[in-house]
Structures are given as structure tokens and as C-alpha cells.
Amino acid sequence: MIYIATHKAFNPPELEGYRPLQVGASTHPELDLGYLKDNSGDHISQKNPNFCELTGLYWIWKNTNDPYKGLVHYRRYFGKSNFLHSPSAIYPYDQMLTFLDNCDIVLPYIEYFKQDAREEILISCCTPEIFEKLRQVISNLYPNYLSNFDQFFKNNQSTLFNMLFAKGSLFDSYCEWLFSILFELEKYVDLSKLDPYRSRLYGFLGERLLNVWVLHHHLKIRHLSVVNTESSFRQECVFLRRRITNQIVFKCSSLIKAGKDK
């Protein structure tokens, strides 16, 4: 099953194997969208303002036994092109299954930053103190992941959106790793000191940590385009130009830095 995280009413794609999941349901008990809710069973729905769609990820992990599990968004789906916006461009569930015949996990396309991943997340999503505490938590809990953590954050490539599709056992294994880290980090973070955007901290960190986990396990990845049903062709052209520019800027910066280090 592929679950569609949403916090509002929308028009779900008419595709078998997809189910809407209302995230943050505990924070808005008055809102009943008629979908599955992330505040039943074992859940962390109340953490949604800071964990974003990860409260849905947690719910899927703890409350489903699907042989294959996936998470997408009410406006973002795995599909045929970043430049298409019609629900008809979304890959049906049966086709998503065929992708796993030749890979371990399906992830979104690779995004390129003009800074390395550490500098990028510090710009608006995290603080240096929290980042260093995150690294320390990983060092304490999973020291064999530390080199992968450093490797990822020194580069400028990342998949984003907390979107994935994999066998249920692999999906659950990732969740167990991810939430053990985030719950430990929570003990050291005072969210009241963060602005509203940065307070979505754990959702942002989840996006990056998925890359670290995949890197550590040497997983074979199928990167797919993301169909954004609320975007436009013009907006996607702007995003594409930004990605290309970022690659050039990062490459030039790396060459300059390498020259200075000689």
C-alpha cells in the first residue's frame, strides 16, 4: 500500500493501492476528512507540527503489515515527469511494484544544492548546535553510520520530501533506525527557541537521514520523477534551472577550494 499524507481535503488519485492518511489528526480533533488518521493505535500524531509527514511514516510502521509500503503526499507522487501535473502521470501501484524487481527502494529524483548538504540545512532548517548534537546522537547510537553521515553532508546531493517505496520489512527497518535517532535528539532540543519554520526540524532532518541510511546499506535505488499536482510547468522550469545552476556553483566552489588546499 502507498499512503498519501495529507492535512487537508483533496482529490485522491483514483488508483488502487493508494490510501489517504490524515496526518496531525491529534492536533486538529475537530477536522474529520473521512480518511485514515494517524492518531489511532501506536502513534505520534501530536508531534506533527515538528515532525511533519513523519507522523504518518511512524503510523504506517507501527500499524500496518503491508508486504510493500510507501509514503507520498497529497500533492507529490512518484510519476512520469517532473513537468507533468495531471493525476494521469502518477505511476499506478502495480507499476511501482515492477520497479522493485530491479532495486531495493524507490526514492524521488536527486536534488542538487549549491552548498554542501550541511551548509544547506543550516541556512534555514537547523542550527549548528542542533546539527552537532544530531551527529553526537548518531555517534552514540550507531557509530558505524558516522562515516556515512559525514560523507552525505559533505556532498551536495540529496533526495527530499520523505517519500519512499520499498518492501515492508525494509521500510520498517528504516523507521526503527530513524525514530530511535529523532526521539533521542528530542531530549536535547528546545523547540521554543526556533522560529516557526525551523520548528519543523524533525521533518527536515528525516529527509536528509534517509539518504544516510540508504548510503550505509548500499541499497540499489530507483530514482523517479515527482508529479506535483499543485505546481505548474513554469515553476518546474524554474526549479530545473536552479538545479543546473546549483550543480555548476558547487562544482566551481569545490575546484576553488581544492586549489586553495594544495
Cell of 169: 520489512
| Residue located via cell numbers 495531471 | 86
Distance of CA 209 to CAs 121, 149, 158, 174, Å? 12, 8, 10, 10
Task: Please determine, for residue 257, whether its predicted confidence score (pLDDT) is greater than 70.
Answer: no
Residue 136 pairs in a beta bridge with none
Q: How far apart are CA 67 and CA 62, in angstroms?
A: 14
> What is the β-pairing status of strands 111-112 and 76-79?
unpaired
Residue 168 phi/psi, 5-degree rounding, is -55, -40
Which of 74, 66, 81 is closest to 166 using CA atoms? Answer: 66
- Name residue 80's amino acid: K
Question: Using 50, 70 and 90 to split pLDDT, how confident is the model at 248?
Answer: confident
Question: Using 50, 70 and 90 to split pLDDT, how confident is the model at 261?
Answer: low
Residue 225 has what pLDDT? 97
- Alpha-helical segments (H) within the chain: 48-51, 54-63, 93-99, 117-124, 128-141, 146-154, 168-186, 201-216, 233-261
Tell me if 56 sits within 8 A of 3, measured CB to CB: yes
pLDDT tens figures, 144-197: 999 999 999 999 999 999 999 999 999 999 999 999 999 999 999 999 999 999
Per cent of the chain over pLDDT 90 is 87
pLDDT tens figures, 101-155: 999 999 999 999 999 999 999 998 999 999 999 999 999 999 999 999 999 999 9
Distance of CA 168 to CAs 32, 69, 190, 221, 238, Å? 28, 5, 34, 16, 36
Number of residues that make up the chain: 262
Domain boundaries, the chain: 2-261
Question: Using 50, 70 and 90 to split pLDDT, how confident is the model at 238?
Answer: low
